[in-house]
Structure formats: structure tokens, C-alpha cells
Amino acid sequence: MLAAVEVGSGGALQVIFERLRSRAEEPVLWEQGREVSAESLLAHTAAMVVHLKKSGIHSGCIVGFCGDYGLATVSIFLALFELKAIAVPFSVGAQAELTLLAGEAQLEFWLDVPTLEVKRMRERPADHPLVMRLRESGNPGLIVFTSGSSGKPKAILHDVQRVASKFVTPRRGWRMVLFLLIDHFGGFNTLLACLAYGGTGVCVGSRTPMDVCAAIERARADLLPATPTFLSVLIASGAWRNHNLSSITLVTYGAEPMPEVTLRRLPDLFPTADFKQTYGLSELGVLRSASPKNDSLWLRVGGQDFETRVIAGILHIKSKSSMLGYLNAPSTIDSEGWMNTGDMVEEDGDLIKVIGRQSDVINVGGQKVFPLEVEAVLLANPEVVEATVFAIPHPVLGQVVGARLSLQAEVDERAVLEKIKVHCKAQLQKYKIPMRFELVGVDTHGSDRGKKIRR
């Protein structure tokens, strides 16, 4: 049984910094073929603190920066937290939206990662009530954004001390791939796990199957956290056949439902690995989870500081590490601390299975279609390597079903499509059968966050 850890006046972040100091020459990052020690990371962090102070950044300042995981960005995170500032990370893929998102986050400073030049973004300090509340607490903050798939991205403000509190209890450290993006809450969760548990973060730079496989092989990573869409693309790419991935002993997947056919194929890539479904939301944090067996999509979620309940088939969660709120929208957390996740689930005792997002359901003349159900039928065809089902507006029915397919190379596309249509008619009710099929490249199904695009 793990011993309890006393958290001092410096909070959970102090515990993480003390653990880093105790690791000295042990590696905490792997970047471009070299290992970075805890001592080196802390030295870079100390220098960054001095630089940021000279640039006018202090407690409560809202500071944005853009990049990917590496020594520079991780030391920026830690320096901002030491200064009790509010970090707003952006991935490289978010550059097209930077002007919009910077305004929604009320950025006060911009830090250019390559040059470390600091630019003041506004003359008057941000005065949002949630920001003022965080400043009064004296705790550092983090702002991340929702994906914006159903409208304008929402700016989520977190108290980092609250987020870090779940990492105080010691656990096993992993050499884990930092696959999830720097502005993805799951990615931030992965980084804190590396720093708090004595692990090593493997920086990949690019999320192509080839580059991820190469990083796993070179760094001897033992944990790959990824999305089901990326894992499907990885299977289809064949890149895994050209690399030694035997060091991976655990693959975790989350952020969207996992197709059963993809889960069944994963042991071909990682024959010695366990597979674990995770569950979390940017607003609430990442919950502890466990499945009854490796190939099961059923799981238990919850753990310390989390409560769950299911109402009318929708999962609701209460979290002690939940967000302070949105900076640009009303909170979705009620007065008792519960949030409707929008995830539809089935129940079996204390187990749940996520069957899709409420917002993704296709309404065909009043009949509900769950994209995952149709995708499972499409993926049952061996010629189909990936499938994405989405809604198409219809003047009479409101919506009908559409599907994007990626097929195996060198197949007769027309013949395969006819076979798929016959298969759908045999397996699906008429209103669930896609009315339109699009053939696309396998790498076009996911966003830069590795999640399916159903628009």
C-alpha cells in the first residue's frame, strides 16, 4: 500500500519540485536522441525564472507560448508555476487561431519559444473575476481550450495546485511518449505524471506513425498514451512493421470511443503490452480507470476526489480538481459540483461503456443513429482500414448518414464499395445505412489532436 504524502505550504507543486531535485542525474526527458536530467531541467527552469522576471512577468500574469514538448517548453511551464503565473500553451497546429484564442484567454504576455523574446499583449491587466479569484489564492494557473467542434472554443481556467494534487501519492514512473499535444489537458496530465512519478517523457515532435514508432524504438519507451483514431491510423500505415516496438508494455487510449476492431488488432503491434482505456475531460481532469480485461471496452471510473453517476444514459461527474470555470462562457458545472459530460454510456453493475457523444448522434427523421455502431459494421470489411461516420443535412429527414472510408491499397474501389453497401443492408436498419460514401486518405480522419472529425 502506498504511503500518504504530507503536502506542505507550497502545495502539491512543491512535492513535485522536491522529487525532481531528489532525482539529480536521472533522466526526465528524452529529446532528439538525448536524455535530459532532472538537474538540467531544474537549472534551465531557474534561468527561465530570472529571464521572465526581468521581462516583467510576475504572479498572476497570463502568459502564452507556442511549441511542442521539449526542454525549453517544460522549463517554461515550471518557471511560470514557480512565479505563480498563468500558463497558456498552444500547439503548433493552433497557430491559425492564435489571434482569436489569445483574446479569449486575455493574454497579457507572449513568450516566443525559439528566441525567448517576451512581448506585452495588453496595457491593462486582465480583470476577469475567475482570474482575480485565482490571483487572490496565490496559486499558478493553466488555460486550455475546448476543441470548438460545436462552436467557439471555450477557455478553461484551472488552478494548477488543484490539478497537481492527484499526483502527490507516489506511483510507478514510465518512459512515456508525450503524444497528446501541449495544449491538450490530457497531454498536461501526462507531463505531470512524468515529473511526479519519476518517469521520463519521450518528446516526439511529429505525430506521424513513422515518427512515433521511431521515437518508441530509439527511446525504448514503455508507455504509449494515444487516441483510438491515431491507433487506427498507425495500424493502417504499416509503420509498426519497420520498427521494434517491443519495449511498449502499456498502451492507454482515450478522448473518444475505441472501435472494437481496432482494439482487437492492437496486439499485432504490441504483443507484450496491456491495453487500458482512460477517461477524462479538460474541465474535470483525468479519472482513475480500470477494465475487467485487456480487450474489454467496459471500465470503472472514479477514484479519489471523483464521483460519478448516470442520469438518463448520460455520465455525470463531480471532481475536486475541476476547472475554476470558462473565461468566455457560462460554467457547465452545477451548484453542487456536478457536470453533465455529454457522454452516452451503457451500464453493467459498476461498469460503464461509452457509446458516443450526445452531440454526435445523427437524427434521421426522429430515429437516432450512433456513429460508432455504423463504423463497427463498416470496419468489419477487411478492405476498410478506417471509417468515420457523420451527419449530412437533409431537406426532409433533417439529417442522413454519411461515411468517409479509407481502403486497403490496390483494391478495386468500385467493387469494394458495392460489397460494403450489400453488407450494410444486411447488418443495419435502412435509416442507419450511409447515403453517401467518400473515399479519403487514412490520415484525413483525425484532427491535429488525434480525434475523429465528424463534420
Transcribe 325-378 into DSSP letters: EESSS--SB-TTSEEEEEEEEEEETTEEEEEEEGGG-EEETTEEE-HHHHHHHH
pLDDT score for 151: 63
pLDDT score for 285: 84
pLDDT above 70: percentage of residues in the chain: 96
Instruction: For the chain, give every domain's residue range.
Output: 11-164, 361-444
81 pLDDT exceeds 80? yes
DSSP 8-state code for residue 199: -
| Pairwise CA distance, residues 325 & 420, whole Å | 46
* Short-list 67, 197, 192, 194, CA closest to 140: 192
Mean pLDDT of all residues belonging to the chain: 90
**178-219 residue pLDDT tens:** 999 999 899 999 999 999 999 999 999 789 999 999 999 999
**270-307 residue pLDDT tens:** 999 999 999 888 998 888 888 888 888 888 887 777 88
**143 Cβ contact partners less than 8 Å away, ≥ 6 residues apart:** 62, 86, 87, 88, 105, 155, 156, 157, 158, 327
Q: Which residues pair with 405 in a beta bridge?
A: 387, 439
Residue type, 193: A
Q: Which residues pair with 192 in a beta bridge?
A: none
| Pairwise CA distance, residues 144 & 90, whole Å | 8
pLDDT score for 290: 82
4 pLDDT exceeds 60? no
Burial of 321 (0-12, 13-18, 19+ CB in 10 A): buried
The class of domain 11-164 in CATH terms is alpha beta
Q: Whole-prediction pTM value?
A: 0.86
Q: What is the mean pLDDT of residues 47-64?
A: 96
| Pairwise CA distance, residues 222 & 215, whole Å | 11
* Short-list 267, 247, 266, 240, CA closest to 202: 247
139, 130 contact by CB (below 8 A)? no
- Superfamily name and number for 361-444: ANL, C-terminal domain (3.30.300.30)
pLDDT score for 9: 52
**353 Cβ contact partners less than 8 Å away, ≥ 6 residues apart:** 297, 298, 299, 345, 346
pLDDT score for 450: 62
* Short-list 195, 143, 148, CA closest to 174: 195
**350-409 residue pLDDT tens:** 888 888 888 888 999 888 898 888 998 999 898 998 899 999 999 888 899 999 998 988
3-class state of residue 11 by DSSP: helix
